[in-house]
Chain A
Amino acid sequence: MLEAILFYSFAGLALASAVGVVAQRNPILSALSLIVTLCSLSAIFGLLGSPFIAALQVIVYAGAIMVLFLFVLMLLNVPRREEGDGPRGVLKGVAILLGLLFVVQVGAVIAAHGHAAAPAGYEATTQSVAQLLFSSRFLYVFEATSVLILSALVGAVALAKKDL
């Protein structure tokens, strides 16, 4: 009962703010709506019994990445879009078509799998996530990803600083 109330309020908040991201004319307000979406998704992760993923969602996406987004938006001072200079007719049509396609896909998945639920008593704690991540199954992928991120970091520094 309580869980259902919490789930529907956070799900509703996530959807409403996701619409806000697209509907806002001011880019900074769009970014702020996206933060609300990410935080409500994190609350849903928490309800699903994985506090670790919930915390990471907020730290990585809502905390680190969106601060950088906002920082750049505020520095560049992107002008707000006025009425009328939105996407043109063809683009609008394509967007609506893609949106409909997505709705059909989601409907098909729900129809095929129905209500999937996490196994009872399951909790994705820090320990269980770590054991899975450092097991022989994912270890090499995990390490390869960190090397990839490191090389991206080095590349960014090399591009930004011409004379090292």
Chain B
Amino acid sequence: MSPLYQELLIAVVKVAVLINVLLVVFSGMTYLERRVLAFMQFRLGPNRTGPFGLLQPIADGIKLFFKEEAMPEGASRWAFVAAPIVSIATAFTAIAVIPYGPPQRVPSWDLLPEWLRGREISFQVADLNVGLLFIFAITALGVYGIVMAGWAANNKYTLLGGLRSSAQMFSYELSLGLSWVGIIMLAGSFKVADIVNSQAGGFWNWNASPSRQFLAFIVYLIAGTAEVSRTPFDLPEGETELVAGFHTEYSSMKFALIQMAEYINMITVAVLVSNLFLGGWHSGIPGVGPSFFWFVGKVAAMLFFFVWLRGTLPRFRYDQLMHFGWKVLIPVAAVNVLATATWVALVH
């Protein structure tokens, strides 16, 4: 096999594994979110399907699969069908350039073909020179899924939901981008793997620690939550005023795809927080080596944090949301960039 086809084959296998793992984590999250949220509110949550209700995601999937597909009258056919596709495609693409662990060597078993033995495989689909910029670009495109869904359905509630979410996204995208600038300057690279490796050697080297980029960490947590429209920033689908916001008119598998895209975006933010601010696969204790499991643990903690937020905080009002984004978050992020730039210029 020529080297090009070897690379392609490895990439295809990585993509297949990544998509399947993400789908499993997604269905697990739908169950865990409902269950944990229920416990927080002194309820039981889904506990009838299978042991502890563990088969609930499968039952939900089957139910959605057999539901009738409905398209409202006067809807824009193309945009209505394209919106969930755009959402899910951007969600999967953004997470493809993030590494999950240190590169590993393939063991040289006789079963494997010659070219695969001892080859170094990185734990990410594509290692781009512009890593973080690429993620930023793709999440910026993800807005269109929501905007198109809101506009195409020809319904005033969905349109309002779409408008709200586009305004919210481009307001919080600014502080999200600014919160990355500091860690990019400290690591001297856009590559996520380089940023993770710049945090090795103990938890005080993590970007989330007060000696590094604590302010950026807080700003990114808030902006990231707003970017994926989780409570307290879930205004685009505020059910008390907008029915269900931009996805009101979606049913069956299209609804499932939109839901899936939202969860995968949430996973992306959790993965990014643990890689950019919590040291990724490096352990916080000096002397303990890096491992894939540290990364998994940090991501799981972040996902729990998002559910916890939903069980704790009420929703923002729209004017509060805009005020907070433009007048508090962006100035804080900008000051942090200035301070970090001064520090980097003085030290290096």
Contact status B151-A55, CB under 8 Å: no
Contact status A51-B148, CB under 8 Å: no
The answer to the question of A125 belonging to the interface, with a C-beta cut-off of 8 Å to chain B, is yes
Contact of A58 among B140, B162, B166 (CB under 8 A): B140
Q: Which residues of B contact A26 (CB under 8 A)?
A: 76
Contact status A55-B79, CB under 8 Å: no
Q: Which residues of B contact A11 (CB under 8 A)?
A: none
Stretch at the interface among A70-78, A111-119, A147-155: A70-78
The answer to the question of B133 belonging to the interface, with a C-beta cut-off of 8 Å to chain A, is yes
- C-alpha spacing A51/B190, complex, angstroms: 12
Q: Which residues of A contact B173 (CB under 8 A)?
A: 63
Contact status A59-B137, CB under 8 Å: yes
- C-alpha spacing A70/B137, complex, angstroms: 17
Min CB gap B30→A, angstroms = 29
Q: Which residues of A contact B79 (CB under 8 A)?
A: 28-29, 32
Min CB gap B167→A, angstroms = 7
Q: Which residues of A contact B148 (CB under 8 A)?
A: 32
Contact status A64-B170, CB under 8 Å: yes
- C-alpha spacing A28/B162, complex, angstroms: 13
- C-alpha spacing A121/B148, complex, angstroms: 40
The interface centre, meaning the residue of A29, A63, A70 with most chain B CB atoms within 10 A of its CB, is A63
The answer to the question of A145 belonging to the interface, with a C-beta cut-off of 8 Å to chain B, is no
Where chain A touches its partner, the secondary structure class is helix
Given A2-B4, A64-B140, A67-B143, are A55 and B133 also a contact pair (CB < 8 Å)?
A: yes
Q: B137-158, CB under 8 A of A: which get 1 and which 0? A: 1101101100110010000000
Contact status B166-A70, CB under 8 Å: yes
> In which size bucket is the chain B interface?
20 to 34
The answer to the question of B159 belonging to the interface, with a C-beta cut-off of 8 Å to chain A, is yes
Contact status B141-A63, CB under 8 Å: yes
> In which size bucket is the chain A interface?
20 to 34
Q: Which residues of B contact A64 (CB under 8 A)?
A: 140, 170
- C-alpha spacing A63/B4, complex, angstroms: 32
The answer to the question of A48 belonging to the interface, with a C-beta cut-off of 8 Å to chain B, is no
Q: Which residues of A contact B143 (CB under 8 A)?
A: 63, 67
The answer to the question of B269 belonging to the interface, with a C-beta cut-off of 8 Å to chain A, is no
Q: Return the chain B residue nearest A58 by Cβ.
A: B137
The answer to the question of B128 belonging to the interface, with a C-beta cut-off of 8 Å to chain A, is yes
The answer to the question of B214 belonging to the interface, with a C-beta cut-off of 8 Å to chain A, is no
Which of B63-96 touch A at CB < 8 Å? 76, 78-79
Given A2-B4, A74-B151, A75-B163, are A32 and B144 also a contact pair (CB < 8 Å)?
A: yes
Min CB gap A91→B, angstroms = 28
Q: Which residues of A contact B316 (CB under 8 A)?
A: none
Min CB gap B281→A, angstroms = 24
- C-alpha spacing A29/B144, complex, angstroms: 12
Contact status B133-A71, CB under 8 Å: no
Min CB gap A57→B, angstroms = 8
Contact status A62-B141, CB under 8 Å: yes
- C-alpha spacing A33/B297, complex, angstroms: 42
Interface residues of A (CB under 8 A from B): 2, 26, 28-29, 32, 35, 39, 42, 51-52, 54-56, 58-59, 62-64, 67-68, 70-71, 74-75, 123, 125-126
- 26 interchain pairs, CB-CB under 8 A: A2-B4, A26-B76, A28-B79, A28-B151, A29-B79, A32-B79, A54-B130, A55-B130, A55-B137, A59-B136, A59-B140, A62-B137, A62-B141, A63-B143, A67-B143, A67-B144, A67-B169, A70-B151, A71-B166, A71-B167, A74-B147, A74-B162, A125-B129, A125-B130, A126-B130, A126-B190
Given contacts A55-B136, A56-B133, 7 further A-B contacts (CB under 8 A): A28-B76, A35-B141, A63-B143, A70-B147, A71-B166, A71-B167, A74-B159
